[in-house]
């Protein structure tokens, strides 16, 4: 921190901050103290310090198995200090541990972009390789790999042939995360624009969605749904929840809205609401059998996230009986049954 910040930045709540810092020296892993200090730093416009504390608090919750809280805190750290690598890496690793490969790959891509801007090309490429290994069919990964021109440089092994096409067996079903990527990609957002406010391209995403609503208006269900996707993609979960609920109230695009609402509730740590939304989506007449398989998978992931491994395992086994090769069901079963 600069001398200016030391002289003026700490004036906001400086006494309370010092008291909290002193208490934290004695109890460095106290979640209540960490949360309070992070909030005080944020209120004092000390964003870098606040981000650091939120990451520490996220680590504390992660070590205790409270993964949804940890995820929310890492996202908060990213939101207030988007150019810092550490929370992206933490979030990616936590997603990876939980078996959310696409989400982990997305964070590795963003981490790679940050490192590239910092001139750390070798490290950036290594994280892009991690993303490619986790999700070789991810469109963003393929685009970024090409932008690095790594094949000519010989700095990364060529992507496997399967990278160009997803596993046909898996894509016979409704893959919600893949649909999210398609929705955002269909907006024709230029991720290379120099006018992005941060590495997620938040400003460009929202401008593209608003431009698409010129004819329909901002009460249009498709506009609201796309806004929900963008909010979720950028970590604004409460806003995403509000948008998806508005879509449902319109009576249109119900399966997509209920499903994405359920996933967003899960990421928000609101597991009861997540299950209600996902089950509502599964019961819709418009839902095909393949769509129902996809939503059952998400229901199992919610049970898993809330620590109800028995319910999650039961659903994964039901899916496997009819669709043996669906996504990573076999891996989930082995993991939850205690075999890995």
- Written as one string, the DSSP assignment of 140-207 is HHHHHHHHHTHHHHT-SPPPPGGGGS--TTGGGS--HHHHHHHHHHTT---TT-TT-SSTT-HHHHHH
pLDDT of residue 276: 93
pLDDT at res. 269: 93
Of the candidates 271, 278, 199, 256, the residue with the CA atom closest to the CA atom of residue 233: 199
Backbone angles phi, psi at 329, to 5 degrees: -60, -40
What is the pLDDT at residue 217? 57
Q: What is the CA radius of gyration of the chain?
A: 21
Please give the structure tokens belonging to residue 22: 């002193």
pLDDT at 207: 55
Residue 205: per-residue pLDDT: 53
Is 110 strand, coil or helix?
helix
pLDDT given for residue 293 in this prediction: 85
Q: What's the pLDDT at 195?
A: 37
Closest by CA to 258, choosing from 238, 237, 241, 234, is 241
User: Does the reported pTM lie above 0.75?
Assistant: no
Are the C-beta atoms of 171 and 178 separated by less than 8 Å? yes
Phi-psi map region of 307: left, alpha, beta (phi>0 left; psi -120 to 50 alpha):
left
DSSP 99: T
**Residue-level pLDDT at 185:** 47
pLDDT number for residue 88: 92
In the chain (340 residues long), the average pLDDT of successive 10-residue segments reads 39 76 89 89 88 93 81 88 91 84 86 88 88 72 57 41 35 44 45 38 53 56 85 86 91 90 94 93 80 89 93 91 78 80
CA distance 110 to 16: 35
């Amino acid at each position: 921190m600069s001398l200016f910040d030391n002289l003026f930045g700490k004036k906001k709540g400086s006494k309370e901050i010092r008291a909290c810092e002193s208490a934290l020296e004695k109890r460095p892993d106290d979640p209540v103290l960490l949360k309070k200090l992070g909030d005080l730093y944020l209120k004092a416009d000390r964003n870098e310090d606040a981000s650091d504390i939120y990451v520490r608090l996220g680590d504390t919750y992660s070590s205790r198995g409270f993964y949804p809280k940890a995820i929310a805190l890492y996202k908060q750290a990213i939101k207030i200090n988007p150019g810092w690598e550490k929370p992206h890496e933490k979030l990616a690793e936590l997603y990876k541990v939980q078996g959310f490969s696409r989400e982990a790959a997305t964070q590795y891509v963003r981490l790679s972009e940050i490192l590239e801007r910092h001139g750390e090309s070798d490290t950036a490429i290594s994280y892009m390789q991690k993303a490619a290994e986790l999700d070789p069919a991810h469109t963003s990964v393929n685009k970024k790999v090409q932008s690095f021109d790594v094949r000519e440089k010989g700095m990364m092994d060529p992507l496997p042939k399967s990278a160009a096409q997803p596993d046909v067996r898996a894509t016979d079903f409704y893959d919600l995360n893949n649909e999210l990527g398609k929705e955002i990609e269909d907006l024709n957002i230029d991720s290379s624009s120099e006018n992005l406010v941060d590495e997620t391209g938040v400003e460009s995403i929202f401008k593209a969605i608003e431009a698409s609503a010129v004819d329909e208006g901002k009460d249009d269900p498709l506009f609201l749904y796309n806004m929900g996707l963008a909010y979720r993609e950028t970590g604004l979960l409460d806003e995403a929840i509000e948008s998806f609920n508005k879509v449902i109230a319109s009576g249109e695009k119900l399966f997509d809205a209920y499903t994405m609402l359920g996933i967003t509730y899960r990421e928000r740590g609101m597991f009861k609401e997540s299950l209600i939304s996902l089950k509502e989506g599964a019961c819709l007449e418009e839902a095909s059998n393949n769509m129902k398989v996809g939503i059952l998978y998400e229901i199992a992931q919610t049970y898993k996230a809330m620590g109800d491994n028995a319910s999650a395992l039961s659903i994964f086994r039901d899916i496997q009986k009819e669709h043996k090769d669906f996504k990573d069901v076999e891996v989930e079963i082995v993991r939850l049954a205690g075999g890995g």
